[in-house]
Amino acid sequence: MLSFGDPGGVRTGVLAAEGLWRWRLFNYLQNENHVFFDNLLSKMVQYLSVKEDKRKFRVSLPRNIFDENEPVTFDAELYNNTFELINEPDVRLTLINQKGKEFNFTFNKSGRAYSLNAGILPVGEYRFRASVNNGGENLTFEGQFSVRPIQLELFETTADHGILATISRESGGRLLYQKDLEGFSDMVRGLNSAKPVIYQTVRTRPLIDLRWLFGILIGLLSLEWFLRRYFGSY
């Protein structure tokens, strides 16, 4: 009386009878509950309304780009042949950074699915590969995501006068506002502690690097030797 199929890739169910409500009443008469009937109806609807994505194993992330101060989380779903959620077998995940270094994780079982908190990761590009063995069938899922640096300057674009006042006070300085700029030059002149600073740079060079100087010395010595020989000084 009840048959299912997927001709042309379209899932179809046919009930060759009427009075389905009587099934529910009979279920209660037999067991004093509606569990069997409700499960049957739920599986029928689940089978007929399943999405086109027929992969039995899927891994998802809340987004593909994470900030460097937030943990990277994963969710995974595993389905049996009737597309019911199960989470009996262990699911493992391998995380690969830009340098090719691998980090291994095991998913936690959450309800009838899986979840994983990989923690806070350094900035960079990452690839991941998740795998599970379900009834002798090896299933895998691959993906990628990025961790970007946080530019704190973009979160606060106005000056924090409290911090500036603290820095100036602890360093022996003063915090001046626009209304105080008129007397700024007089204040600087009145600073007795202001002293000029002289910077000196000393560069040394080995004498052996001055080849032209050696050439002059050898030339003068040769000239002296020649003159002495010429005038008979030896």
Give me the residue spans of the domains in the chain.
2-48, 57-148
Look up residue 40 and give its amino acid.
Answer: L
pLDDT of residue 155: 60
Distance CA 13, CA 106 (A): 38
Residues 143-154: tens digit of each pLDDT: 999 999 877 666
pLDDT tens track for 71-84:
999 999 999 887 88
The architecture CATH gives domain 57-148: Sandwich (2.60)
The Cα–Cα gap between 31 and 218 comes to 120
Whole-number pLDDT of residue 91: 96
pLDDT at 195: 66
In a structure prediction context, what are the per-residue pLDDT tens digits for the chain, which is 234 residues long? 888 887 776 778 888 888 888 888 888 888 888 888 888 888 888 777 766 667 889 999 998 989 888 999 999 999 988 788 999 999 999 999 999 999 999 999 988 899 999 999 999 999 999 999 998 899 999 999 999 987 766 666 677 778 888 888 888 787 788 777 777 777 777 766 556 778 888 888 776 777 778 788 888 888 888 888 877 755
What is the predicted pLDDT for the residue at 4? 82
Specify the amino acid at residue 167: I
